[in-house]
Structure 1
Amino acid sequence: MATAQLFSGGLTKIDAEGQWTGIYKQAISGPVHLAVDGLAGDMQADRRVHGGPEKALHYYAAENYRQLAERFPGVAEKFVPGSIGENVSANGFDEWNVSIGDMFRLGGSLLQVSQPRSPCWKIDYRYGSDGVARTIAETGLTGWYYRVLEPGMLSTGDVLELVDRLPGAVSLAELWQVWREHRPHPAQVEELSGAPGLTADWQRKLIERARWLRRHGGERAQR
């Protein structure tokens, strides 16, 4: 169990070309309603890659910030909970001890881990430092998204509690490591596509990559 902090925000224009972002969040105390498509009042600039039922709530581990601060000492003071655009942050749960499909209670809601967050260039912009997004991808400090199984009211200080893990669950760290490998074995990639609770989009991406690896000698390369 862990005590959660909550964050929400609107949209911010970040350049003259009309790019917007929802990465700038503010701490909220609550109570706030969590629906199947996210927190009331929270906004995402690009709904193709953020938000929606499979990305309703974004979590980032508070302890990940300490690792990023060590790697980027010049902007260390910027690595604080809420700064990467998450809705929920806490200590005690991270990519190594949380699995796809894990179910959590938070306040009056029931959540399920659906997929990792893929870092984008706006993270570098947020911190004013090149290479942060790349480091997140390389280290697997990605954070993750929840789908909402039961909507409810949330407040900062609510307990985040793991209540169920599906048989055959795959950790976020394992999924990300295989996904990032240059030439993973196609059978391993295909097996991960069946991880319980994984989104249909990630299933499709993994199956397509396994097929590509087989067509290009992935199995022979592993012998």
Structure 2
Amino acid sequence: MKYRGEELVTGIVKTPVSSLLHLSKLGLEGDGQADLTVHGGVDKALCVYPEEHYAYWEEKRGQRIEPVTFGENLTVRGMLEQDVCIGDIYAIGDALVQVSQPRQPCHKLAKRMDWPQAALYVQETGYTGYYFRVLQEGKISQTSPIKLVRRDEHGITLKYANHTKYHDKKNLEAARKLAGLEVLSESWKQSFLKRVAELEA
């Protein structure tokens, strides 16, 4: 991707496909991540973004936003951050996936949209999208229905996790709750363990 005349190595630029693709523990066939220190891995196999948010961003930006601009592997409907819980398990095609963490926007989203404040706005709104880990590999396609198999017993929504991380930073009880959540991704768990230590010091 070119950004202001310079070549930027990134996996955020994607195009919709209709073919049947294999979903492995590390991601979707044909997909890739440029910086594996912060992207990819078993906890971030599949990036998901709710379609409903596009209308908000188009109004805020004042222009049409192309599909998959947020670099998502799946654009979904009816699965917003306030309704989806960390640890929820879904069936997609013949694959089984589990919600692992909210998506944490980075500078490449801002460059993809040529909008310097984009990552900050995403953080502030909580319209982050999220990641799935893959529990059972399988084939999925654009038309594969997504079915909730099991709601996580702790009932901790992505919205709650986002709010705690970015807005309620002094809430020790919330930080402890998230740090102790076994199904939360390792990177987010570590960030909340660090916060707990700082708040208890």
- Please give the range of the TM-score, normalised by the shorter of the 2 chains: over 0.9
Matched, 1:161 2:147: yes
8 Å CA contact 2:178, 2:184 repeated in 1: no
Match of 2:22 in 1: 33
The Cα shift of 1:187 comes to 2.5
The Cα shift of 1:199 comes to 1.4
Match of 2:100 in 1: 114
2:132 partner letter: Y
Matched, 1:170 2:153: no
Once the two structures are superposed, residues 21-49 of structure 1 have per-residue CA deviations (whole angstroms, 9 ceiling, x without a partner) of: 11110111011111110011111110111
Question: Structure 1 regions of 5+ residues with no counterpart?
Answer: 1-11, 216-223
Match of 2:48 in 1: 59
Match of 2:128 in 1: 142
Residues 83-102 of structure 1 aligned to structure 2 (within 5 Å): 83-102=69-88
In 2, Cα distance between equivalents of 1:132 and 1:121: 8
TM-score where L is the length of structure 1: 0.85
8 Å CA contact 1:169, 1:195 repeated in 2: no
Aligned length: 201
Match of 2:167 in 1: 181
TM-score where L is the length of structure 2: 0.94
8 Å CA contact 1:113, 1:147 repeated in 2: yes
Match of 1:46 in 2: 35
8 Å CA contact 1:106, 1:158 repeated in 2: yes
The Cα shift of 1:188 comes to 2.1
8 Å CA contact 1:166, 1:196 repeated in 2: no
For the residue of structure 2 that corresponds to 1:92, the secondary structure is coil
Alpha carbon RMSD of aligned pairs, Å?
A: 1.6
For the residue of structure 1 that corresponds to 2:16, the secondary structure is strand
8 Å CA contact 1:183, 1:213 repeated in 2: no
Once the two structures are superposed, residues 55-97 of structure 1 have per-residue CA deviations (whole angstroms, 9 ceiling, x without a partner) of: 0000000001111112111xx212x431110000111001010
8 Å CA contact 2:176, 2:192 repeated in 1: yes
* Stretch deviating more after TM superposition (149-158 or 123-132): 123-132
Specify the structure having the higher radius of gyration (Cα): 1
In 1, Cα distance between equivalents of 2:112 and 2:44: 20
8 Å CA contact 1:168, 1:196 repeated in 2: no
8 Å CA contact 1:34, 1:109 repeated in 2: yes
> In 2 relative to 1, CA 84–65 (structure 1 residues): closer, same or farther, beyond 3 Å?
same
* Stretch deviating more after TM superposition (161-170 or 191-200): 191-200
In 1, Cα distance between equivalents of 2:145 and 2:135: 17
